[in-house]
Structure 1
């Protein structure tokens, strides 16, 4: 019978997604330690926010991380110190990065080379320079790395808990030819355009729908961070790279920003929201033009693999098209491949939210645990 195994867990980010993940981790840990065939003991040895951290020199596990973290006055370890601390931890170590921090992303190759596995929804690690992408996968055991590197999984960096990345990887690894990837990749943009131009007609002014989306918590605190299209461009960069294209960065292909030129210089999100109604006329024209042709406007991203083209922006769709019929803040991703022919393989569902994003992260952790011996 296999001996029980201990795996040390370090978690950076204990806010929205982080909090949901830590709750799911508690459930997973209680299940794994009861496995009759090969129990695994998950030990939570480090938790940090951007301001503070909890950890012990003797690597004791934190069972009440929430109250301990609230009471803590210890600052988080700098990344080189964290890496030294984790290397000496008992058993194998998994680092869970629930942030969207570029500095942490830049340190992934170093952690992986030291045998520390990483699971993360952090898009910046996989969508900034092509060099960082290569460095991460050269260091990872499940990349082109050597056997003693850590594993890296990032399902939640595209489509939250939807199996977008694992599906694309499987299509590529089994020798299918991916021709085109197209879809609505942003829960925010999905909600915005489904309310701005519903298939049944109607819908409010664009600025009013942006305000509603913001009030419901669907947008970033500053809605310009969604409307500039960069979030979608990051996700497209990741998928294009997985499909074999050497995309340099999310700004190396056409990305349509929905921030009017005149408002690019606004000093704050508040000022931007105040002035946005001045430009409702432009969006109304787009809506009416689409309506005349029996179509609706949606904010989509697409990758044309044979042509090597990636683009993000507004497109018109027939009302019967699956992209037009989306509801709420759902995402939809269509894979057009040789095997699937004219009918694409479609993945659809909630593409935003703490619980589903954390589910993708927890699912990745399960994959890593299966690989660690």
Structure 2
């Protein structure tokens, strides 16, 4: 009979919705008809609440943020806009920290995005050890996306653990993907095993679609033969000012001081001039292109720091002594100008020879790399499909807003897959 079938279906549905920690209910027969079967009797209120909780978890994603500096603050602003424009899934901030302070609730009640930077600055909570943070996030009643806005190696080293616990990650942190090759392998193995997602578009080119473009080329079967470009907004600004295509340009030391004053360099400009930042980006791209590069120090990288100034105690001391070495850079510029060219600081990957290098190169004044303006980046992908005309990506490769945009874009990609 139809009534009997309906009762059976109801029993199966209620069994599926029973909280796993609840002891299966006893059956009590109410049948007054031989075709009726025993149906479980539940506490309707508890079951309804449990179903509500499960539905809420399905429609909610927790966001945890480590790092609230320049990029972090820009990301918070974009997250607030995203949460307002994208009501489903509901985005709830459950954790945010700097190296000294944190905001979170043990019951996972949301941290308000309104005034979060000010509240974090005045917080008396200290950030727990990373392993404890991961335990806390892994026990959340809904899926969690961890946003790492730092450049911390310690946080990067914790990625495999976080991913293995089911936490998805979006980040601009280059150190996670340009460190040891073993860390690279551990990160993606953990993600593949747990099903968690990991995106790092902003680790190269800030908000430019460099990594996603390279992945698309590789995954669709194109063969990348060469990658070349200007990968540092700092170096781009310096050489566009020091050796412009129209000639002249300022003294090297003056251009470095100007770049620092404008916020284009690190507090100690040597952290840009040593070339390691570009080497990290080349390491990431080379690995994505299929080259098992061990580390950023495993290939030639030219440093623009005079050996005599490597031991300067501070960045200020370095800048004070730098004018004494201006002639070295003037000679390099003059050599290029005699050949009708300009000098630029570039990185290149030759897939055929598996050679990766970073340093100064000369380019014709009409070359796209020579004609950059400001702090723009330019990356050229040479592939079999594109032939002699490379696929070129060009635009702002530095700045908090554009870097945060790449992180937010990655978050949107993750949400589309886990929510």
Which category describes the TM-score, using the shorter chain as reference length? over 0.9
Maintained 8 Å contact 1:190/1:326:
yes
Instruction: Give CA-to-partner distance per residue, 1:331-368, whole Å, 9 cap, x none.
Output: 00000000000000000000000000000000000010
- The residue aligned with 1:107 is 158
Residue of structure 2 equivalent to 1:26: 80
Q: Which residue of 2 aligns with 1:170?
A: 216
* Cα deviation digits, residues 38-68 of structure 1 (max 9, x gap): x210000001011100000111111132232
Map of 1:97-246 to 2, 5 A cutoff? 97-140=148-191, 145-146=192-193, 148-246=194-292
Residues 332 and 346 in structure 1, CA contact (< 8 A), matched pair in contact too: yes
Q: Which of the residues 291, 296, 304 maps onto 1:258?
A: 304
Shift of 1:317: 0.2
In the other structure, the counterpart of 2:61 is 7
2:88 is the alignment partner of 1:42: no
| Counterpart-to-counterpart distance in 2, 1:251 and 1:15 | 28
Structure 2 counterpart SS, 1:28: helix
| 1:345 paired residue number | 391
- Give distance in 2, aligned partners of 1:66 and 1:129: 34
Larger radius of gyration: 2
Q: Which runs of 4+ in 1 moved over 4 A?
A: none
Q: Secondary structure at the match of 2:110?
A: coil
Alignment check: 8 A CA contact 1:187 1:351 kept: yes
Aligned to 2:38: none
User: Shift in Å at residue 7 of structure 1?
Assistant: 0.2
Q: 1:266, 1:272 within 8 Å by CA — same for their partners in 2?
A: yes
1:149 CA displacement: 3.3
CA contact (8 A) 1:8 1:94 kept: yes
Partner of 1:60: 109
What is the CA deviation profile of residues 75-110 of structure 1, one whole-angstrom value per residue up to 9, with x for unaligned ones?
112111001100111211000000000000000000
Structure 1 counterpart of 2:414: 368
Which residue of structure 2 aligns with residue 36 of structure 1?
none
Confirm or deny: 8 A CA contact 1:224 1:259 kept in the other structure: yes
Q: Name the SS for the 1:248 alignment partner.
A: coil
Aligned-pair distance for 1:284? 0.4
Match of residue 283 from structure 1: 329
Rounded to whole Å, the distance in 2 between the matches of 1:364 and 1:319 is: 36
Give the distance between the partners of 2:174 and 2:314, measured in 1 at CA: 24
Query: Within 2, Cα distance between the matches of 1:252 and 1:71?
Result: 44
1:309-328 mapped onto 2 (5 Å cutoff): 309-328=355-374
Number of residue pairs the alignment of both structures matches = 362
Aligned residues of 1:7 and 1:90 also touching (Cα < 8 A): no
Distance between the aligned counterparts of 1:68 and 1:202, measured in 2? 50
- How far, CA to CA, are the matches of 2:382 and 2:143 in structure 1? 39
User: 1:87 touches 1:116 (CA, 8 Å); kept in 2?
Assistant: yes
What displacement does 1:263 show? 1.0
Unaligned residue ranges in structure 1 (runs of 5+): 34-38
Cα distance in 1 between the residues matched to 2:412 and 2:90: 13
- Residue 371 of structure 1: SS of its match in structure 2? helix
Unpaired stretches in structure 2, ≥5 consecutive residues: 1-54
Contact in 2 for aligned 1:114/1:149 (Cα 8 Å): no
Distance in 2 between residues matched to 1:118 and 1:78, nearest whole Å = 18
C-alpha root-mean-square deviation of aligned residues, in Å? 1.0
Distance in 2, matches of 1:94 and 1:264, equals 40
Provide the C-alpha distance between the structure 2 equivalents of 1:299 and 1:184, rounded to a whole number of angstroms. 7
